[in-house]
Chains A and B, each alone.
Chain A
Amino acid sequence: MQYRQVQTIGGMFNSALRGLATDKQGLLYAAGDSQIKVFDAAGHLKRRWATARPAHSVAVADDGSVYVGQEGQIEIFDGVPWRNPELLGRVTAIGFTKDSVLAADSVGRVIRRFGRTGKFLNNIGADNPVKGFLIPNGVLDFAVDAQGLIHAANPGKHRVERYSPAGELLGHIGRFDGNDPAGFTGCCNPTNVAVSDRIYVTEKAVPRAKAYDFDGNLLAVIAVAHASACRAGTHAGACPEAVFDPNVKNMSIAAGLQGRVYVVDTVKLAILAFEPVAS
């Protein structure tokens, strides 16, 4: 399986581009600087607005409300912000289950689960000897699948862990490997994750975006920064062109409609769109 780059959205952010999300209509929401910008499938800017604090993450609820993760709070458009510096140290990912809102607190290294009105319910990922996720990169990212299960990147363990909303660890995919593209390399990968009918991840050093099935089988290396990211072997001959800056890390990733995947290049401050190539 191969992907090809179909779009680049650049020049829209000045100093930081941190979070991506898509909605049911396929619109793309980007969080960076102190702004949210919304793009259509053609990459045209449709809306933009300022946030109260620098935006670290963004998510769109089923009712169309836009939740923006920041330091100490979640800002809701249009609604009343949830301020809680203790539970929302720095919100680097937001997601939704049927009856709850999930926020990744990268300061506390856990995912916080709240009721729809903002009442704290439980932590996810804290019940282990290290009291949270191992995130040396300072970003905690997760995504919620169609069944309402939470897939969280745990880069220090080289895994994507699967949790119930109540916080029970159900399993994981991933393993360390510095050579095989199916593994996660370096000290701490993957850094970011998205879920649709597949699990998408990004890694740093060497930067790459990849797709897995839910059993942890590598489906595709979507894009890389160095050709060395696809070593001879499993993906020889099918390695995509190098598109990312080699110094990127914490590349937010989002799944769009019809298999499209959006990835942030945090150095170029650009959003790159990829689509699967029909075999």
Chain B
Amino acid sequence: MSDLTRRDLLGTAIRGSVLAAMGGGALFLVRKAHGQILWQVDAARCINSRLGEVGVEACSLCTTECVVALSAVRAVNEYSKCGRCNICPAYFNITSPVNELGQPSEKLCPRDAILRKPIGKVDPEDPANNFYEYLIDEAKCDGCGKCVLKCKEPLGLGSIVLKVRYDLCVNCNRCAISEKCPKDALRQLSVGQALG
């Protein structure tokens, strides 16, 4: 009698676990179908933005692996963190020759997707006497991550990060970028987490 009871209990537990897993999976699918589960780049994991990585090349898997044309990932400048520098290492190729203005002669972005605008009136005698705003043209940006790597501390302030744009992302069940990302930086988040 006690053996049967134990077997019954075990069976019930297993059936319960399976049902719970199916229920969880179904709930996940329902939430995903309703756009409540989203893919997002974890900046603390992304090789282009995670601190402590030095001497690495920019990772462009978000550009090459995304199934969306031009990629659903974009570089985003968080203005509250931006230093508004005169010479921004994410905008300029800082190792290019210095021009007559005392600035690097080349831009960093291969698609010229970053715009540099002076804030206020430029001091004509000393252009360094200014703050500059850096805007990312998302129609051009393909999320290659080059600017993100150069904006990272300690070279920059880490204001530019990669983000999945939800109006572009088709929300694949198995994100092609996440399949290849060596740092597991593409994460599925609830809407609340993604926007938080």
Taking a contact as CB atoms under 8 Å apart, the answer to whether A187 and B89 are in contact is yes
* Docked CA distance A205–B89 (Å): 11
Give B88-134 interface residues, CB cut-off 8 Å to A. 88-89, 94-98, 102-104, 120-121, 123, 128-131
Chain A 143-174 per-residue mask, 1 if CB under 8 angstroms from chain B, else 0: 00000000000001111000000000000000
The residues of A that contact B86 with a CB separation of less than 8 Å are 134, 156-157
**A158-B128, A176-B98, A205-B154 known; A247 vs B54 contact (CB < 8 Å):** yes
Taking a contact as CB atoms under 8 Å apart, the answer to whether B130 and A129 are in contact is yes
What residue in chain A is nearest B98 (Cβ atoms)? A177
Give B44-94 interface residues, CB cut-off 8 Å to A. 51-52, 54-55, 83-89, 94
* Docked CA distance A67–B54 (Å): 36
What residue in chain B is nearest A248 (Cβ atoms)? B154
What residue in chain A is nearest B157 (Cβ atoms)? A136
Q: Is B155 part of the binding interface, using a Cβ–Cβ cutoff of 8 Å?
A: yes
- Count B-side interface residues using an 8 Å CB cutoff: 31
Most buried by B among A128, A159, A247, A248: A247
Query: Which of A91-99, A178-186, A271-279 is near enough to bind chain B?
Result: A178-186
Taking a contact as CB atoms under 8 Å apart, the answer to whether A188 and B85 are in contact is yes
Q: Is A204 part of the binding interface, using a Cβ–Cβ cutoff of 8 Å?
A: yes
* B130 contact from A130, A136, A179, A185, Cβ within 8 A: A130
What residue in chain B is nearest A135 (Cβ atoms)? B83
Taking a contact as CB atoms under 8 Å apart, the answer to whether A186 and B89 are in contact is yes
Q: Is A235 part of the binding interface, using a Cβ–Cβ cutoff of 8 Å?
A: no
A contacts with B: majority SS: loop
Chain A 116-153 per-residue mask, 1 if CB under 8 angstroms from chain B, else 0: 00000000000011100010100000000000000000
The residues of B that contact A226 with a CB separation of less than 8 Å are 55
What residue in chain A is nearest B51 (Cβ atoms)? A247
Taking a contact as CB atoms under 8 Å apart, the answer to whether A188 and B83 are in contact is yes
The residues of A that contact B154 with a CB separation of less than 8 Å are 204-205, 207, 247-249
**A136-B83, A246-B54, A248-B154 known; A157 vs B98 contact (CB < 8 Å):** no
Taking a contact as CB atoms under 8 Å apart, the answer to whether A156 and B83 are in contact is yes
The residues of A that contact B51 with a CB separation of less than 8 Å are 247
Q: Is A175 part of the binding interface, using a Cβ–Cβ cutoff of 8 Å?
A: yes
* Docked CA distance A226–B86 (Å): 25
Chain B 20-33 per-residue mask, 1 if CB under 8 angstroms from chain A, else 0: 00000000000000
* Docked CA distance A207–B55 (Å): 13
The residues of B that contact A188 with a CB separation of less than 8 Å are 83, 85
* A176 contact from B87, B121, B156, Cβ within 8 A: B87
* Docked CA distance A130–B87 (Å): 15
* Docked CA distance A59–B108 (Å): 41
* Docked CA distance A134–B84 (Å): 9
* Docked CA distance A219–B98 (Å): 22
> Nearest chain A CB to B43's CB is how many angstroms away?
17
The residues of A that contact B52 with a CB separation of less than 8 Å are 247
> Nearest chain A CB to B105's CB is how many angstroms away?
10
The residues of A that contact B88 with a CB separation of less than 8 Å are 187
* A187 contact from B85, B96, B102, B130, Cβ within 8 A: B85
**A157-B86, A178-B95 known; A187 vs B156 contact (CB < 8 Å):** yes
Q: Is B137 part of the binding interface, using a Cβ–Cβ cutoff of 8 Å?
A: no
The residues of B that contact A136 with a CB separation of less than 8 Å are 83-85, 157
* Docked CA distance A205–B129 (Å): 22
> Nearest chain A CB to B24's CB is how many angstroms away?
41
The residues of B that contact A177 with a CB separation of less than 8 Å are 98
The residues of A that contact B129 with a CB separation of less than 8 Å are 128-130, 157
* A178 contact from B83, B94, B153, Cβ within 8 A: B94
What residue in chain A is nearest B151 (Cβ atoms)? A187
Taking a contact as CB atoms under 8 Å apart, the answer to whether B157 and A175 are in contact is no
Taking a contact as CB atoms under 8 Å apart, the answer to whether A129 and B85 are in contact is no
* Docked CA distance A176–B102 (Å): 6
Taking a contact as CB atoms under 8 Å apart, the answer to whether A187 and B128 are in contact is no
Give 9 pairs: A residue, B residue, CB < 8 Å, sorted on A. A128-B129, A129-B123, A136-B83, A159-B128, A183-B98, A188-B85, A205-B154, A247-B153, A247-B154
Closest 7 CB pairs of A and B: A136-B83, A205-B155, A178-B94, A249-B154, A187-B85, A157-B128, A178-B95
What is the interface of chain B, defined by CB distance below 8 A to chain A? Answer: 51-52, 54-55, 83-89, 94-98, 102-104, 120-121, 123, 128-131, 153-157
